[in-house]
Structure formats: C-alpha cells, structure tokens
Amino acid sequence: MINTNKPEYLSESLSDLINDTQQLEKLSGKARKSVEQHFDINIQAKKLVEVYKKVANKG
C-alpha cells in the first residue's frame, strides 16, 4: 500500500509498476475481475429492482 497523500510516493509507485510488467498484468487482471463481479449491469439491475420492491411494500 502506498501513501497517496504524497504525490512523490504515488509517482514512484506508478513508475515502478510501469516497469514491472508481470506485476502490472497481475493487478490489471485482478482489477478487471473485480469490476466484472461487482459492476455487472444485470446484477446491478436486479439489486435495484429489489430496492424498489422493498420500498413499494413499505408504502
């Protein structure tokens, strides 16, 4: 983990990551998997429908 409140640390960490293609690919894969799991449009739509159903049943 890096201290993102210090621009020089962020800059250094990003530079290190750019130069380490293996680590870059690993983190990129994890990020993509996370987005696919948590931000799938079908899953989000189902969750929103459930919220509407709960609100409608309380009214």
d(CA 56, CA 54): 5
Q: Where are the domains of the chain?
A: 7-58
Can you tell me the distance from the alpha carbon of 18 to that of 27, in angstroms, rounded to the nearest whole number?
Answer: 11
Share of the chain above pLDDT 90, in %: 56
- The region of weakest confidence among 17-26, 36-45, 48-57 is 36-45
pLDDT at position 59, please?
Answer: 61
Q: What is the pLDDT of residues 4-23, one digit of tens each?
A: 688 888 889 889 999 999 99
